[in-house]
Amino acid sequence: MNPRHPPVMALLLAACVFLGTVLRADPEYPKMGPDIYDVHASGTAQINEALGKAAREHKRVLLDFGANWCIWCKRLHATFETDPSVSKALEKDFIVVMVDINKRHGEARNADVNERYGNPIAHGVPVLVVLDSDGKQLTTKDSGELEEGEGHSPAKILAFLAAWAPRA
Q: Specify the CATH number for the domain of residue 62.
A: 3.40.30.10
Q: How many domains does the chain have?
A: 1
The confidence score (pLDDT) of residue 29 equals 61
Residue 121 forms part of a structural domain? yes
Q: Is residue 158 part of a domain?
A: yes
Question: How much is the pTM?
Answer: 0.82
- Determine, yes or no, domain membership for 6: no
Residue of 97, 42, 36, 41 lying closest to 67 (CA atoms): 36
**Cβ-Cβ contacts under 8 Å for 100 (sequence gap 6 or more):** 37, 38, 39, 41, 43, 66, 67, 68, 109, 110
Average pLDDT, the chain: 88
Question: In the predicted model, what is the mean pLDDT of residues 7-22?
Answer: 50
Tell me whether residue 4 is in a domain: no
Task: Establish if 119 belongs to a structural domain.
Answer: yes
Q: Is residue 159 one of the residues assigned to a domain?
A: yes
What digits encode the pLDDT tens for the residues 21-60?
445 567 766 676 788 999 999 999 999 999 999 999 999 9
pLDDT tens by residue, 99-157: 999 987 678 899 999 999 999 999 899 999 999 999 999 999 999 999 999 999 999 99
List the domain range (segments joined by +) for residue 111: 29-164
